[in-house]
Structure 1
Amino acid sequence: MSPHDPATRPALDRLAPDRLTTVIESIARAAALAKRRADEVTLIAVSKTQGNESILPLLAAGQRDFGENRVQEAQAKWPALREVYPETILHLIGQLQSNKAEEAVALFDAIHSVDRPSLVAALARAMDRSGRRPTCFIQVNIGDEEQKGGCAIGDLTALLREARTADLPVAGLMAIPPAGVDAAPYFALLAKIARDQGLAGLSMGMSGDFETAVTIGATHVRVGTALFGARQVGDGA
């Protein structure tokens, strides 16, 4: 079943609210286990590679926070969607090139991948020029993986100092644990680092581990497959 086939639209319209309800209930259960309120957790629907026909049923079901990986892809679809749902909150969750900082600041309400001094400087300039101040999360390379973006743990204090000096609105930390291992220790480490740095925001947890992340203190979880279903072969994912 392809979401791009008009014949499948009714099925998507039915599945979207059911999947959304399931994820919201899972967040609530995990929050209750940790003696937290469910409304302390923002659910970000990861809509990268998804077309408008897949996103609209979730919007109609009440979901308002969405995450995109690339500035150009978001620019292609979200202005039209926001004309219908202007209260939508957009999160940039993918790596950001410094030369795209101005476009990112113009479009997104939160940027979860601030990871180097050059990007801090570019975002500060863009915010000063535009007057828009998207919430920022410092991305930490929590598993010390060469192939992943994120600031090294040892460099975090210096990067945070630069971000605060530049007056970026830093809300917290973001991380993606290594694949194929228990994510809990990495979530716990990120939570400890955030506490030590006086930061409340924790952007961590995806479709396979968001419940664990919530029990450890996540304030933002980034969920794609559990909301949209498995990606289709050939959809660019």
Structure 2
Amino acid sequence: MSDEISKTHSVIADNLAAIHDKIAAAEAAYKTQTGLDRPVTLVAVSKRQPDDRIDAALGAGQRVFGENRVQEAQGRWVPRRDRHADLTLHLIGPLQTNKTADAVALFDVIEVVDRPKLAKALGDEMIRQNRQLDCYIQVNTGKEAQKSGIPPEDADDFIAYCRDEAGLNITGLMCIPPNDEEAAMHFALLQTIAKRNHLSILSMGMSDDFEEAVAFGATAVRIGSAIFGARDS
């Protein structure tokens, strides 16, 4: 192993250890405040990261990864599945309906269910492949036109549709708060919708705000730059 690769492995291992320590402290604070024990999954956001950084994270024991694009993820993870049977892959970027077959075949969790057409396509594809994935509803808590996600006021009806008509195994919710607003109110809103619909998984919080997300009941945090550094363009 070259000195440069060795340094990359060391930095990423240290970053992961530091993040796990912060998550553990936030989990403990949440338990003290609420009396609830809610373990948090670290989803390492690997989109557009070079192979040496991905392999460094794998070498440090990270096994849960999030990807934005199906085709990019196929090239990265299909060969690594042979070496790491315990991988769990989350799709965290917008999904086109014509990519549902590839997405169902590759991923273990779909975090971005946000419209009836996609929900139906996913449900049909899971039947065809005999593969039932956990699915999260993406809620556009800030109602931002440029972002995917169901509006908060439509979330209850959409969750019911996904469960009852599309046949999806809806286990959680996901959100991406607006950059120019306090994240806390968006985390609180997602938590409220989850409680109404008896959902236990909340995917919320990224590199800059994951500790705050855990304080609002996050069970999965999606962290990229704090692990890997800046993405390659």
Q: How far has the Cα of 1:214 moved from its partner?
A: 0.6
Kindly indicate whether the alpha-carbon contact (under 8 Å) linking 2:155 and 2:193 is maintained by their aligned counterparts in 1: no
Q: How far has the Cα of 1:143 moved from its partner?
A: 0.5
- Tell me which amino acid in the other structure corresponds to 1:15: V
Q: How far has the Cα of 1:7 moved from its partner?
A: 5.8
Work out the CA distance in 2 between the residues paired with 1:135 and 1:187. 21
Structure-to-structure mapping, 1:35-184, within 5 angstroms: 35=31, 36-37=36-37, 40-165=39-164, 166-184=166-184
- Tell me which amino acid in the other structure corresponds to 1:179: N
Q: How far has the Cα of 1:8 moved from its partner?
A: 2.5
Aligned pair count reads: 227
1:15-59 deviations in Å (ceiling 9; x for gaps) = 111000000000011111111546x11100000001221101111
Work out the CA distance in 1 between the residues paired with 2:106 and 2:56. 22
Kindly indicate whether the alpha-carbon contact (under 8 Å) linking 1:91 and 1:112 is maintained by their aligned counterparts in 2: yes
Kindly indicate whether the alpha-carbon contact (under 8 Å) linking 2:206 and 2:221 is maintained by their aligned counterparts in 1: yes
- The match for 1:230 is 230
Work out the CA distance in 2 between the residues paired with 1:28 and 1:65. 17
Kindly indicate whether the alpha-carbon contact (under 8 Å) linking 2:156 and 2:193 is maintained by their aligned counterparts in 1: no
Work out the CA distance in 2 between the residues paired with 1:151 and 1:125. 21
- The match for 1:10 is 6
The gaps in structure 2 that reach 5 residues or longer are none
The normalised TM-score by structure 1 is: 0.93
The gaps in structure 1 that reach 5 residues or longer are 1-5
Which aligned runs of 4 or more in structure 1 are off by greater than 6 angstroms?
Answer: none
Work out the CA distance in 1 between the residues paired with 2:190 and 2:157. 16
Kindly indicate whether the alpha-carbon contact (under 8 Å) linking 1:48 and 1:67 is maintained by their aligned counterparts in 2: yes
Work out the CA distance in 2 between the residues paired with 1:216 and 1:159. 23
Q: Which secondary structure does the structure 2 equivalent of 1:84 belong to?
A: coil
Work out the CA distance in 1 between the residues paired with 2:223 and 2:169. 24
Q: How far has the Cα of 1:226 moved from its partner?
A: 0.6
- Identity fraction in percent: 49
Q: Which of 7, 28, 33 is equivalent to 2:29?
A: 33
- The match for 1:21 is 17
- The match for 1:203 is 203
